[in-house]
Amino acid sequence: MAGVISAEEDALNKGARAVAEAHGSIKQQVSKVRSEVEQLGGAWQGAAAVSFRNLMSEWNGKAERLSQVLDQLQQNLVTTDKVQQELEQEHNDSIRNLGSLMSGI
C-alpha cells in the first residue's frame, strides 16, 4: 500500500476503518502478552527477572505509543475525509452557481 494514492470514493473513511480494525487487533495481542507475562511474573525471581521486567516496561511504553499513534492516524483520516467532503461540496456549489450565471447570459 505504500506509495499508492487512491482517489476512490470513501477511501479515507475506509482507511480509518482499516486502521481501527488493525488497532483493535494489536490491542488484543498486547493484552494477551501482558496477561501471560503477569502469570509468569510472580514465580520468577533474580537478576534475569529484573532484566525481563525492565524490558517489559520498555515494551509496554512502546506499545502504548503505538496505540496513541494509531488513534491519531485514525482521527486524522476521519477529519481529512470530512474536510475533503466539505471542499467537494463547495466546489460543486461553485460550479453550479457558475452554470446558473452562464445560462443567464
Q: What pLDDT score does 6 carry? A: 52
Number of domains in the chain: 1
Please give the model's pTM, rounded to 2 decimal places. Answer: 0.73
- pLDDT, tens digit, 9 for 90 and up, residues 58-101: 999 999 999 999 999 999 999 999 999 999 899 999 999 888 88
**Structural domain containing residue 17:** 1-103
Angle (deg, nearest 10), helices 47-103 and 11-41: 170
Any idea how long the chain is? Answer: 105
Identify the CATH number of the domain in which residue 34 sits: 1.10.287.1060
Residue 3, C-beta contacts closer than 8 angstroms, at least 6 positions apart: none
Structural contact between residues 90 and 25, judged by C-beta atoms closer than 8 angstroms: no
- pLDDT, tens digit, 9 for 90 and up, residues 6-64: 567 789 999 999 999 999 999 999 999 999 888 887 788 899 989 998 999 999 999 99
